[in-house]
A and B are shown apart, each in its own frame.
Chain A
Amino acid sequence: MYSDKFKQSLERVEKARDNNIALEPERMTAKQKEDLLAAFHPDYRQDQFDTLKIGPNKGDKVPFELSDILQAHSRISADSVDLEKPDYETDVLIIGGGGAGASAAIEANEAGADVMIVTKLRIGDANTMMAEGGIQAADKPNDSPAIHFVDAFGGGHFAAKRELLSKLVCDAPEAIKWLSDLGVEFDKDADGTMITTHGGGTSRKRMHAAKDYSGAEIMRTLRDEVLNRNIPVVDFTAAIELILDENGNAAGAVLMNMETRELLVAKAKTVIIATGGAGRMHYQGFPTSNHYGATADGLVLGYRAGAKLLYAETLQYHPTGVAYPEQIFGALVTEKVRSLGAKLINVNGEVFMHPLETRDVAAASIIRECSERNLGVDTGDGQGVWLDTPMIEKIGGEGTIMKRIPAMWRMFDKYGIDIRKEPILVYPTLHYQNGGLDIDANCMTTNVENLFVAGEAVGGIHGKNRLMGNSLLDIIVFGRSAGINAAAKAKDVTVGKLSLAHIEKFEKELADAGITTETVSPKLLPNYTKQKGI
């Protein structure tokens, strides 16, 4: 139930509903999109970006919050730990227990390597667990990997590394099959045909889902498989610095127990960074849909050890974060709500855009509606626009919401809003790190040997914007590939003398560039405590 202040606008939305359902809003032209993005998308706000002064991406622009942690001090100095006495020794060290890390672990184990996962919270406390909408794969007869390629390449502003993108789309059906064989329950018709929908920017219906718990269903299955294989998982343990060997190759990591703060050394022949995204950095003050540990740690670890970033300046602001109620501010309203037919409506009850434009365009369009056009709805804490969820029941029939997006219903029901009967209020939320560490088609970084990356910590697979459903896909495709390649590479590696010399080298670069900062990184967790202790 909404309070009286929303009443007038709500009535307009209800009155216009039938007409709005029938309306097929026009898609924007390429030029219209370009102008809209330039004027309203957060990535284009020059005053929010800083130029990196040191490191492999010197001269590149990144958000202030990111440059602050990239150009920061290490949490340790080289003499904080004894590298001669590793606490763990393994072939493949995987940093991060999300979907990418778990997939890599399963494949490395399958390949016969010794593998272990260290992860900051518990395995599965990760963005993967939260993905609702689904996973793309061109497996229907009217579709093909080539069409998938074009959709993703265009959606990412023609900036993806083509060798990575072609791998993503060509390995996609196999990834679905792999998951299915592990027991992931995809939505299917009685005859086994996958139930697939559109996502923003897709030209074919290729979004596979497991209700609106797609990521949870994938993550819990992968976790179960990791445990079945007795792969060691060290939880509540963060990597805080990479270890190189005397030849400059990746050879392990310094770990920190998140509860006791004890430092530990893990030595490995190959290392996979699978630390995920950065929503909890709250770039430009945006709320976020991400899990608690999404603080761009992998980018910091890699950068300090000399690995290059690609497109770190591009973030994805999901157009539909919760704008109201306050308790779930910033949480994600899955794109599937729009795939199933709900349209975006302004304060006057008018449809102001096609609901299935790409995410960046949709986010910019909502920001325009709430700023320049002044047609947003005042929520008390800010602005929002309506997402008319009751349309779904009218289009798909009664019961569609409970059948296809139960998690969404549950999230709002807790606060007395029945999305089958009432629309919801949304505003863009910080959602996805488009950029990340630069890799080749074998998932190895382009300039640090034996350092592999998979998942949201990678840059370049999607270009400068990612389509819904291509991220769950990339963590499986590139997670598996990183596991296979890191295991294979480990066979030929002889680790030289371990070293943390890069910390001092980086310190010197900071000083030489005249950077004075008190920030230490990686950040590990955001601090939301209101009381300031001593």
Chain B
Amino acid sequence: MENTVNIFLFGKKYEVPENLTIMTAMEYAGYQLVRGCGCRNGFCGACATIYRIKGDRELHACLACQTKVEDNMYIATLPFFPLVKQVYDIEKIPATETVMMQLYPEIYACIGCNACTKSCTQGLNVMQYIAYAQRGDFEKCAEESFDCVMCGVCSSRCPAGISHPQVAMLARRINGKYLAPGCTHLEDRVREIKNGDFNELIEALMQKPLDEMKELYNNREIEK
């Protein structure tokens, strides 16, 4: 038998192999997951989890699919957290800090306790990205928050009741739409296609016999 550790799922003890993640350990223990499990690979934020190692003062937050079990780990999942998501029309909002004041005024009540940063499952500097959002520096907020999986752990720790991932989401959309430089070759190509510039080429491919298509493919020139 492989080496095992004792873990406590919602307080109840289970003995599980030590090489499992929290998520696979729950399944090993017999849980058929519905909530709290999405991508199983660190992208979707469905599996936010809080744990404490017995005897430690510190409480940890993590993604259950990305974290190995440890001996004497007390585990509670946090599959849902009531975040606030404000509704807005991306075509109409101003790309300035007024939009934050209107939609997420609570960010200005941040007391700088840094609990959000300490708890972030992605190791992001959450307090800093909120500070950027306060100042309307959406480019920096977008950059700093880019790896956010919207798990909501930071918000669960915030005394000011801020919904950090939603604030960052808004900042990234504003940055992507309004602040990032426009792309001329993309605009050009969209226009050329609308204009029918490639119709003839495509039409020819639609008709071409299979062996000629093979010729074309096998001898195509590949950009270095």
User: A and B, one complex?
Assistant: yes
Interface 0/1 of A266-282, CB less than 8 Å to B: 00000000000000000
A504 within 8 A of B: no
In the complex, what residues of A have CB within 8 A of residue B20's CB? Answer: 327
Which listed residue, A124, A149, A230, A331, touches B44 by the CB 8 Å rule?
Answer: A124
CA distance A332 to B43 in the complex (A): 12
A209 at interface (Cβ–Cβ under 8 A)?
Answer: no
User: In whole angstroms, how far apart are the Cα atoms of A351 and B128 in the complex?
Assistant: 44
B-contact bits for A144-176, CB 8 A (1 contact / 0 none):
111101110110001000110010011001101
Interface size class of A (residues with CB under 8 A): 35 or more
Interchain CB contact under 8 A, B213 and A533: no
**Which of B190, B214, B222 interacts with A203 by CB under 8 Å?**
B222
Indicate whether A531 sits within 8 Å of B186 (C-beta atoms), given known contacts A185-B172, A211-B146, A292-B40: no
Interchain CB contact (< 8 A) of A146 among B201, B221, B222:
B201
Q: Taking the complex as formed, is A85 at the interface, i.e. its CB lies under 8 A from any CB of chain B?
A: no
Q: Can you list, as one digit per residue, whether each of A199-236 has a CB less than 8 Å from chain B (1) or not (0)?
A: 00001110000010101110011001101101000001
Are the CB atoms of B38 and A177 closer together than 8 Å?
Answer: no
Residue of B nearest to A205 (CB): B223
Q: Is the CB of B27 within 8 A of A173?
A: no
Closest to B41 in A: A331
CB proximity of B189 to chain A, nearest CB, Å:
4
Q: How far is the CB of B48 from chain A (nearest CB, A)?
A: 12
Q: Compute how far the CA of A163 lies from the CA of B207 in the bound complex, rounded to whole angstroms.
A: 11
Whether B30 and A139, one on each chain, are in contact in the complex, defined by CB atoms closer than 8 angstroms, is no
Q: Contact between A529 and B30 (Cβ–Cβ < 8 Å)?
A: yes
Closest 9 CB pairs of A and B: A183-B173, A154-B217, A125-B38, A192-B181, A531-B30, A183-B176, A146-B201, A185-B176, A183-B177
Binding site for B on A (CB under 8 A): 30, 121-122, 124-126, 129-130, 138-142, 144-147, 149-151, 153-154, 158, 162-163, 166, 169-170, 173-174, 176-177, 180-186, 188, 190-194, 198, 203-205, 211, 213, 215-217, 220-221, 224-225, 227-228, 230, 236, 258-259, 289, 291-293, 326-328, 331-332, 406-407, 410-411, 414-415, 525, 527-531, 533
**Which residues of B are at the interface with A, using a C-beta cutoff of 8 A?**
19-21, 24, 27-35, 37-44, 46, 66-68, 85, 87-90, 122, 142, 146-147, 149-150, 169, 172-177, 180-187, 189-190, 193, 198, 201-202, 204-206, 210, 213-214, 216-218, 220-223
Query: A151-B217, A224-B169, A529-B27 known; 5 other A-B pairs, CB under 8 Å?
Result: A150-B213, A182-B173, A220-B169, A259-B34, A259-B35
